[in-house]
Structures are given as C-alpha cells and as structure tokens.
Structure 1
Amino acid sequence: MKFNNLFNPIKIREMEIRNRVEFPAMGTKMSTEDGYVTEKLIDYHVARALGGNGLNFTEVCSVYDKANPKDFLGICDDKYIPGLKKLADSIHEAGAKAGVQLWLGGMAVGSDPTAKMIVPSDVPIKGTDYVIPGASLETIKECVKAFGDAAKRAVEAGFDTVEFHAGHNYTPHSFLSGAFNKRTDEYGGSLENRSRFLIECIEAIRNNIPEDMPLFMRIDAHDDCVENGLTIEDVIEFCKLAKTAGVDVLDISRGNFTTNAVKYEVPPVDLPRGFNVDNAARIKKETGMITVAVGRINDPEQADEIIRSGKADMVVIGRAQLADPEFCNKAYRGDVDSIVRCVGCNQGCYDGFVSTEMPHITCLRNPALGKEKEYALVKTDNPKKVLVIGGGVAGLEAALTLKKRGHNPILCEASDSLGGQFALAGAAPRKEEMKEAAIAMGEMAKREGVEIRLSTPVTADVINEISPDEVIIAIGSAPIKLNIPGADLPMVRSSHDVLAGKVSASGDVVVIGGGLVGLEVAEYIAEKASKITVVEMLDQVAKDLGDLRKICVMESIAEDGIRTITSAKCVEIKENSIVIDKEGTLEEIPCDSVVVAIGARSRDFSEIENLCNEKEIPCHVIGDAIRARRALNCILEAVDVARSI
C-alpha cells in the first residue's frame, strides 16, 4: 500500500519538506537543567529524521530570560545558539527540516519558583493569599522583543522555520482568550485588543527572520472547559489577522493545562483518533491558510486520507513516532504491518514527563526512547536457545528482541492465545487499540520466525525436551481472590472473567475495587447492569491511573451514573447484598452480582526456577511475574534482559 498524498513534498515559502509529516514539539526532559541541548536530545531527533520524518520541531523553547524555567530548552540568550545549531545541523544531516518552537509559558513555568509567570490579568491562587500579578506594559514590551530576539537566534542557529506557540493556555493564548484575559487596557476587552500582544509578537518574529523563511503558529481550535473562552469563529478571525502579520502555517491543536481540557493536549486512547481534524479543516477553508492537523493521528492510512481529502496540508504524527521512529520509512515502503503502534496509554510520554521518578519521557512500546544510541540492537556473537515462558507482551517483547539479535527464542504459552492481560485490557471501553497491538505483537513474532508453542504449560518434560541455554520467566500474574465470607457464592465473578466474556454481570452490580480494572469493568457492564456501585478501600478511586486517562475514565463513570464509595472495605458477601465497613460503620448494599477487581498477584514459578537451578540454566524473571505493575515497566525489563543475553 502506497500513501502518495502523505509522502508528497510540500513547499512553504522557500522551504521544501520531503513529505507532509511533522514531528511536533513534545516535552522530553532531555535538556540540561539550565536549558542546553544534550546529545540525548539530538539522538532522539536524529532517529525520527532518519526514520523518514519531514519536519522536526524542537520542544517548547523559552524566549524570555525572566520566564525561563529549569529543565526546558532555552533560546533566550546567545549562549544557547551553539547547542541549538548542533541540533539543527544533526537533523539536516539525517534528511529532515528543522524548526524551533518559540515559547512563553505563562503559569506553566511555575514548576520553577525562580521563573516569572507572565499572565494577562491577576490570578489569585486558591487556598492562599498570593496573587500572580497581570503583566505590566513594560513586561509586555519586553516579551514582544524577546520573541523577536529568539527568532533571530533561531536563524543564526540554522533552523529552517520557527513556530510561535499561541495555544494551551501559555502566555499568548492567555492574552487571546477572554476566559483568562480580564484586562481593560488596549490588550484586553475586544478580540482585536486581546489579539494585540500576539500580533506584536508575530510581527517581531517576522521582522527577525528572512523573507523566505516560513512562520508556523500553534493555535487552539477553540477553548474547552472554560467560561467565556474562544470559539472557533474567534480563532478564525484571529488567524486572519495573524496571516496579515506574517504567519504562513496554522498548527491546529486544542486544550489547556489548567482544566480537564489538558486531555486534548496529549490525548489518551479514550479520545477518538483524529478528533480535531474537522476543526483544522474548517479553519483551513475559512482562512485559506496552510494548515496542519493534530490529534491522535497514528495510522498512515488515516494520515494519507486527511491530506487526500483536503482537510489539511500536513499532519502531526507525534507519539506514533515515539513508539516507532521508523514509522515514516515503514509507511513509505507500504510495510504497515511492521509499524509498532502507539496505543495512547500515556504511561511514558505524559506520565513520564510529569513524574519526578523518570529522568525523561519514555514509551511503553519503545523502551529505547531517549536511549537511542545506548539501546541500538547489537547482533550476538554467541547465539543461544532461549526458552521464553509466557506469551504476554513482556514475553513477546523479549522473544522479538532476542530474535532480532540473532538468538533462537522458543516461546511457550499455557493458554491458546498470545497477548496476555494487555489483550484482555483491550476489551475495556475505548481500548480496542491495545488489544489490536497485543495481537499485532504476536503476528510480528511469527513473521520474525520466533518459534511459538501455544497451549503449552512449561513442565520439567518441556524444559528437558527443549534443553535451553537460558530461560526467561514471563508468566505474569493472576487476579487476587477475596478471602471473606461469601466470596465463593455463585453471584461472585472475577473482573478478568467478565472482561474476557466468560461470565456476565447484570442487574444491580457491586464492583469491589476502584482501581483501573475495577472502573473499566464497571464501564464494560454499564449497558447491561441496572445499577453499578464501585467500592474502594482507598480514599479515592482511580489512584493507579495516569492523570489524563483518569480524567477520561472519571468523566465516563459520571456519564454512566456509576456510584463510587471510597474508604470502604467489603467484609462479607450475602446472597443478595454485600456488607462494607466504611470508616467503622457497617453498611449493606443490595445487589444481584458482585465483580471482584482487587488487583493481581504474581503466579508461582518456584518449580521452574528450582529446575533451572538444578540444571544450572541461567534464569531471568520479568514483568508481572516479579510483581503486578504497569506494562511500561514490564516491557522495559523484557528488553533489558534480552539485550543482556
């Protein structure tokens, strides 16, 4: 299959891009603390450029020294030019065009208490007496000049284009939106006045870049989750002003970081693929400008159709290229089955960014993200026969990595299918892509020539027959059973059995456990059940979900009318009810069915381990077999072990 529209070059002013794919600005935490480019960041961009991407944009790059937070790239001083030049040159050498995103972060720089937050109007901080003051006229003029100076540095560093970030509730967006801008001077009030700061910034940028250099602008299609925010009609009117001021390309995004609308910035699997494309199409039609579509575009056929239909001129393919840096090359060859698909889990790209535990972003599907040189596959000089026990995603990842390195993996799975709990998770609402990814991993392993034995529990006889050089145990975990009176009644079901379609739950249903699985099984049965109550021991439900998936799941829980009870422990199950202890008080909840979703525990592998020790076969344990965790951790362990053999 060929995607001729997607891989058709495009010329904007004098910049010609080899295809219609943009690798967008995404926070990485790969810069130094004081904002310099690192080799790690260069390797990250080069991998996507070598992978066939057309235009690489840096992540947000701070233009104003007083609002320059730690851990973000800087372009607010000449001292940053050499590193940025090395980045731009490296992207060019790898075959792509390079752009830098010019950024003034507003309240987002609050992660660094030394950075000044530039906002249009006073912002009281809830629960304190502190008020972030609105920007003075002097500060506004300094910021405008800072954008112009930053653009000049970008030119000196050798970038092909720059992008003015006017979305996501950063400073420019805050000035543009009536939801945030309460000023009464020439920078507030009417749309024309609220546009003034942004137009001055655009003109400053345009005046400091060559005539033949294109200027991109990232803009929200409209505001979400705020009162008196921007409508799409407002945005269209502003874009026409921006066009006159010198903007060439509109990068149509959505969302803001101060409300639940943040889910649109890094959209999880819960949001439909291409959810923002129609907004881009309307803005393109009504402004006549070159437009880039954004929003969970992660399939080459989908991307090609967007270009073919004229809805946009380019597409952002971001996290799909985090998952597979070779996405563009594979799509260009028509080798779509080998693409490692993003599943919108947000575990590495967003949760990893906001987490203090992770040094930089990563990816569930691609543990090499941010370690491109370190994790380059090295062929083995000593091929080994490796028995991989378990066909979940950890076992499959280990087998695939071993095979690519030249080993001979033999994968044994006790059940009659591959994918394990990752495939089961795909049965939950809105998570079909996870099931598809698990199935695709199994198919990829077959194509790579991994020997796979289904319905094969590993026993001493199996190990003796295979006689492996090394063993990887990836047998995963099993649901924890309740140990209370009534737990074995016929009305009690396991969440895993419900999601697998082995049993059903209807009528008035109580779900015991309010973590990810409990809430997803509640959603799964919502159409069949008359009433659903989720009981959780902790003080809140969804504690094990990442921020953005939690927003989506909780919105769905509310929409379905699912009741949640927290700080409550189930102490007994009766024929037609359960008894809970809520903070020392016993309560009885009538029900027809009970679904248990209280977590999972590693399966016992002591017999296999002991046998390996007796035979002096090196044995490695990975994934949920160690303890039940996120798939992100399990796949990383699989790759690390497979690289070490």
Structure 2
Amino acid sequence: MKYNHLFSSIKIRGLELKNRVVFPAMGTKMATEDKYVTDQVIDYHVARVVGGCGLNFTEVCSVYSKAAPKHFLAISEDKYIPGLKKLADAIHEAGGKAGVQLWLGGFAVASDPAAMIIVPSDTPIKGTDHVIKGADLDTIQEAVEAYGAAAKRAVEAGYDTLEFHAGHNYVPHSFLSPFFNRRTDEYGGSFENRARFALECIRAIRSNIPEDMPLFMRIDAHDDYLDGGLTIEEVIEFCKLAKEAGVDVVDVSRGNFSSAAIKYEVPPIDLPRGFNVENAARIRKETGLITVAVGRINEPALAEQILTEDKADMVVIGRGQLADPDFCNKALNGDDESIVRCIGCNQGCYDGFVAQDVPYITCMRNPALGREQEYALVKTTTPKKVLIAGGGVAGLEAAITLKRRGHHPVVCEAAEQLGGQFVLAGAAPRKEEMKEAAIWMGEQANREGVEIRLSTPITTELIEKEAPQDVIIAIGAAPMKLRIPGADLPHVTNSHDVLAGNVSLKGKVVIIGGGLVGLEVAEYLEGKAEEITVVEMLDQVGKDLGDLRKISVMENIYHAGVQTVTNAKCTEILTNAVVVEEEGHTESIPCDYVVVAIGAKARSFEGIAAYCSEQGIAYHVIGDAIRARRALNATTEAAAIGRAI
C-alpha cells in the first residue's frame, strides 16, 4: 500500500519536514542523574531518524532549575547546551530534524524530593497533613523567564523547533484548568486569567527564537475525570489565543496524572486505536492551526487514513517507533508486513518507566530499545544448529534473532499452532492485538526461513536425532492446580480452557484467583454467565496488572457487574458452591461452575536438561520455562540468548 499523505513533505515557517511523522517526547530515564544527555539518548533518537522519522522531539526537558528532577533532561542552565547540541547534531547528521520539548512538570517532579513542585493553588497531599503552597508571583515570573531562556538555549544548541507542553496537568495546564486553579489574583478565576501564565510563557519563548522557527504546543483536548475541568470549547478558545501569541502547531493529546485519566497519556491495549483523533479534527477545524493527532496510532494505514480524511496535518507515532525504529522506512517501502507493531501492553514503556528498580524504558516487542548500539545484530562466524523447544513469543524471538545472525534455528512446538499463551491472551476482551502479534511472529519466522515443526514436542530422542549444538528451552508454563477438596469435580475447569473456548459456561460462575488472568476470564464470561464472582486471597484483585491496564480492566469489571471478594481463601468446592474463609468466618458462594485461575507453573524439563548435560550440549532456559512472568521477561531473555549464541 502507498502512503502518499503520510510521506508527503510539510513546511512550517522555515522548517521543511520530509514526512508527517513525529516521534514525540517520552520519558526514558536515559538521562544522567544530573540531567545531561547521554550516548544512550543519542543512540535511541538516531535509530528512529535512520528509520525514517520526519521530526524527533527530546523527552520532557526541564526549563526551570528549581523544578528540574533528576534523570530527566534539562535545558535550564547553559551547562546543558553542549550535550543537547551533541544530540541535535547527531539527529541532523542522520538526516532528521530535532525539536526540544520545554517542560515544567508540577507534581510530576515529585520523584525527586529536591525538585520544587509548582502548583497554581494550595494543594493538600492525600493521607498527610502536608499542603503544597500555590506558587507566589515571584515564582510565576521566574518560571516565565525560564521558558524564554530555555528557548534561547535551544536555538544556540541548533534545534529546528520547540514544543511547549501545556497538557497532562503539568504547570501550564494546571494554571489553565479550573479544577486545579483556584487562585483569586490575576492568574486565577476567569478563563482569561487562568490562560495568562501559559500565554506569557508562549510569548517568552517566541521572543527568544528566530522568526522562521516554528513553535509546537501540546495540549489536552479536554479534562477527563476532573469535575468542572476544562471543556473542549475552552481548549479551542485557548488555542486561538496561543496562535495569536506565536504557536504554529497544536499537538492534541489527552489525560492527566491526577486521576484515572492517566490511561489516556500512555493508552493501553484496552483503548481503541486512534481514540483521540476526532478531538484533534475538531480543534483543527475551529482554530485553523496545523494539527498533530496522537493516541494509539500504531499502523501506517490508520495514519494515512487520518491524513487522507483531513482530520490532522501530522501524526504522532511514538510507541509504534519504540516497537520498531524502522517503522517509517518499512511503511514507505511497502514492507508493511515486517513492521513490528506496538500492542499497547505498556509493560516496558510505562510500567518500566514508573518502576524504581528498572533503569530505563524498554519494549516487550523490541528488546533492543535503549540498547541500540549494544544490541546491533552481528553475523556469526560459526553457524550453529539450535533446537528451540517451544513456539511461543520467547521461542520465536530467539529463533528470528538467531536466523538473522546466520544460525540455523529449528523451532519444535508441541501444539498445532505457534504463539503459545500469547494467542490465548488474545482471546480476552480488547486484547485481539496480542493474538495478532503472536500470529505475526510465527509468520515472520516463516518469512525469514526459520525451520518450524508443529505438533512436535521436544524429547531426548529428537535431540539425539537432530544433534544440535545448542538447545533453547522455551516450553512455557501450565495452569497450576488447586489442591483442596472438590477441585476435581466435573464442573471445575481452568482459565486456559475457558479462554481457549474448550468449555462453555453459564449460570453462576466463581473464579478462584483475582490476578490478571482471573479478571480476563471474568470479562470473557460477561454475557455468557448470569453471575460472576472473583475470589482472591490478597487484599485486592489485579495486583499483577500494570497501573494503566489495571484502570481499564477494573472499570470494565465494575461496569460488567462482576463481584469481587478479597482476603478470602477457598477451602472446598462443593457441587453447588465454593466455600471460602473470609476475615475469620466461613461463607459459601453458590455457583454452577468454578474456574481456577491461580497462576501458572513452569513445565518440567529435567529430562531434557539432564540429557543435554550428559551429551555436552549447551542448553538455555528462557521465559515462563524459568517461572511464569510477563511476556516482557520472555522476549528480553530470548533476545539476549539469541545474541549470545
């Protein structure tokens, strides 16, 4: 398919871009503790430029020293100019265009206790007696001047454009929104007063950059989950004022981190592709601004459709380019089928970002993210035959990597199809893209010439016959069995059989286990069963879910009328009820069927391991065969072993 609109040029003031694709500012944790650019940041951006992206924005870049958190880029002092220039130069040398996102984070800087939290009004901290005082006039003035000084530094560092972040309840948005801004001075109250701070910042930026340099602005289409927050009509009015003040392009996002609306900032698989496009189209029509659409635009056909239908002038493809840095070149060259598509799992890009023990973001679909130089594929000089037991995402990732390096991988899958539990996961509501990704991996392995054998369980006899130099054990995990009286009754089944469609349930269903899989079974059964109850031993359900997926799943569980019982231990299953101990007393929950969803346990491979050891064959264990975890762990381990052999 040809994407004529997506890969047409666009000129904004003096900046000409070769296509309509923007790689947006996304937090990476790749900056140094003291906020400098690293080679890792440079490699990360250059990979996307080489991959064909039209415009790259740095991640959120702090403009005000007092409010600049550690491990985020900063442009708040002259000392940051050389590193930022090195990044801009690298982007230019690779054939791209570079922009800096100017950022003042508000509560988002709280990860660094030393950083000043700037809010428009006094804000109590929930669960404490502490109150964050609203910014005084001196701080407001300093912040405005900081934006202007930061813009000047960006020009000196050689950037082509800037973006003013006025969304996601960062400081400019917080001043603009009546939900956050309860001031009574010239910066609060009326719409004109609430818009004052952001407009002063825009003018400060504009007065410090050349006339022919375009200025982008990121905004929220409206406030979600905030009573009395911004309406889209107010946002449109603000955009008109921003245009007069010097903004050329509006990037229409959505969401805030003060409510469940954070799910719109890094939208999980639960939200539909392009969910925010119509808001962008309306803002574009009513303001006349060049407009960028954003929100799970993860395939070129969707991006082309948005532009063809005149709903936006450009599109943000962020996580789509995390998953595949060559996204643009592949689409341009008509090689759509080889694009590794983001599926909105959020495991590496968001869950990894907020996790304290994860050094930087990564991607379940692209383990090379953040390791672009280190993980560049190197052809082997000693090709080996590698037998891979298991054709799930771990086995397939390893196989594709090995094949590209010049080895001869042979995938042996016991089932009749590839994809493993990822195909099963795709049976849950809103997760079809996971199934598609698993199927795609199998198809890609076939396209690249990987030898695949279905209905072929790994055995010592097979290993002896094939005589591989290495064996990779990626046989995954199987559902754990419940060991209580009644667990073997005929009306008791497990989560895998339900999601695979092997059993049909109706009436009253009790699901034992309230983790991710148990909740997905509950959603799957909506409309099939009359009454669904989830029983969980822990103090809450969904503890193994990432933050943003959990918001979406729990909302759907609530609307579906699923009952949840926590702090409850199942002690017995009867023919018509499940007996649980809950807070010191015993209760029977009536049911017609019981689904066990208490987790999975690694399948046994002791015989294979022993044989390999006896024969001197190197063997490697990856994914759920080690222990049941997330798909991110599986592909990470597979990518590592695929490069190590």
Q: Same fold (TM over 0.5)?
A: yes
Amino acid at match of 1:387: L
Q: Deviations over 1:481-510 (max 9, x none)?
A: 111111111111110000000112211110
2:580 is aligned to 580
Q: Deviations over 1:399-440 (max 9, x none)?
A: 000000000001000000000001110000000000000000
2:544 is aligned to 544
Secondary structure, aligned partner of 2:61: strand
2:47 is aligned to 47
Amino acid at match of 2:122: D
Q: Compute the displacement of 1:259 (Å).
A: 0.5
1:606 is aligned to 606
Off by >3 Å, runs of 4+ in structure 1: none
1:159 is aligned to 159
2:469 is aligned to 469
Q: In terms of mean alpha carbon deviation, does 106-115 or 199-208 score higher?
A: 106-115
Q: Compute the displacement of 1:460 (Å).
A: 2.4
Secondary structure, aligned partner of 1:148: helix
Q: Compute the displacement of 1:248 (Å).
A: 0.1
Alignment of 1:547-566 (within 5 A): 547-566=547-566
Q: Compute the displacement of 1:584 (Å).
A: 2.5
Amino acid at match of 1:300: P
Instruction: State how many pairs are aligned.
Output: 645
Alignment of 1:496-515 (within 5 A): 496-515=496-515
2:168 is aligned to 168
Alignment of 1:448-463 (within 5 A): 448-463=448-463
Q: Deviations over 1:254-302 (max 9, x none)?
A: 0001110000000000000000000000000000110000000000000
2:628 is aligned to 628
Amino acid at match of 2:482: L
CA distance in 1, matches of 2:139, 2:637: 49
Amino acid at match of 1:67: A
Amino acid at match of 2:112: D
CA distance in 2, matches of 1:252, 1:154: 23
Q: Compute the displacement of 1:252 (Å).
A: 0.2
**8 Å CA contact retained: 1:412, 1:456:** yes
Amino acid at match of 1:269: I
CA distance in 2, matches of 1:639, 1:315: 30
CA distance in 1, matches of 2:109, 2:3: 40
CA distance in 2, matches of 1:324, 1:127: 42
CA distance in 2, matches of 1:583, 1:626: 35
Coordinate RMSD, CA, aligned: 0.6
Alignment of 1:522-533 (within 5 A): 522-533=522-533
Alignment of 1:7-86 (within 5 A): 7-86=7-86
Q: Compute the displacement of 1:240 (Å).
A: 0.2
Amino acid at match of 1:365: R
Alignment of 1:132-211 (within 5 A): 132-211=132-211
1:99 is aligned to 99
Q: Compute the displacement of 1:92 (Å).
A: 0.8
1:389 is aligned to 389
1:486 is aligned to 486
Q: Deviations over 1:346-395 (max 9, x none)?
A: 00000000001110000000111000000000000000000000000000
Alignment of 1:244-283 (within 5 A): 244-283=244-283
Q: Compute the displacement of 1:114 (Å).
A: 1.1
| Percent of residue pairs identical | 73
Q: Mind listing any 5+ residue stretches in structure 2 that lack a counterpart?
A: none
Q: Compute the displacement of 1:542 (Å).
A: 0.4
Q: Compute the displacement of 1:113 (Å).
A: 1.3
Secondary structure, aligned partner of 1:73: coil
Q: TM-score, normalised by structure 1?
A: 1.00
- Corresponding position: 1:117 with 2:103: no
Q: Deviations over 1:608-633 (max 9, x none)?
A: 11111121111111110010000101
Q: Compute the displacement of 1:581 (Å).
A: 1.0
Amino acid at match of 1:76: S
Q: Compute the displacement of 1:461 (Å).
A: 2.3
**8 Å CA contact retained: 1:482, 1:596:** yes
Q: Compute the displacement of 1:136 (Å).
A: 0.8
1:438 is aligned to 438
Q: In terms of mean alpha carbon deviation, does 137-146 or 607-616 score higher?
A: 607-616
CA distance in 2, matches of 1:420, 1:461: 23
CA distance in 1, matches of 2:496, 2:159: 52
**8 Å CA contact retained: 1:534, 1:564:** yes
**8 Å CA contact retained: 1:505, 1:594:** no
CA distance in 2, matches of 1:521, 1:62: 43
CA distance in 2, matches of 1:239, 1:269: 30
CA distance in 1, matches of 2:640, 2:584: 46
Q: Compute the displacement of 1:205 (Å).
A: 0.2
Q: TM-score, normalised by structure 2?
A: 1.00
2:351 is aligned to 351
Amino acid at match of 2:440: A
Secondary structure, aligned partner of 1:102: strand
CA distance in 2, matches of 1:329, 1:52: 5
CA distance in 1, matches of 2:35, 2:614: 53
Secondary structure, aligned partner of 1:74: coil
CA distance in 1, matches of 2:598, 2:519: 11
Q: Compute the displacement of 1:95 (Å).
A: 1.1
Q: Compute the displacement of 1:564 (Å).
A: 0.5
Secondary structure, aligned partner of 1:569: strand
2:380 is aligned to 380
CA distance in 1, matches of 2:621, 2:114: 45
Q: Compute the displacement of 1:583 (Å).
A: 2.7
1:640 is aligned to 640
- Corresponding position: 1:305 with 2:305: yes
2:286 is aligned to 286
CA distance in 1, matches of 2:461, 2:135: 75
Amino acid at match of 1:422: F
Q: Compute the displacement of 1:190 (Å).
A: 1.1
Secondary structure, aligned partner of 1:578: strand
Q: Deviations over 1:568-592 (max 9, x none)?
A: 1111101110100113311100001
Q: Compute the displacement of 1:215 (Å).
A: 0.2
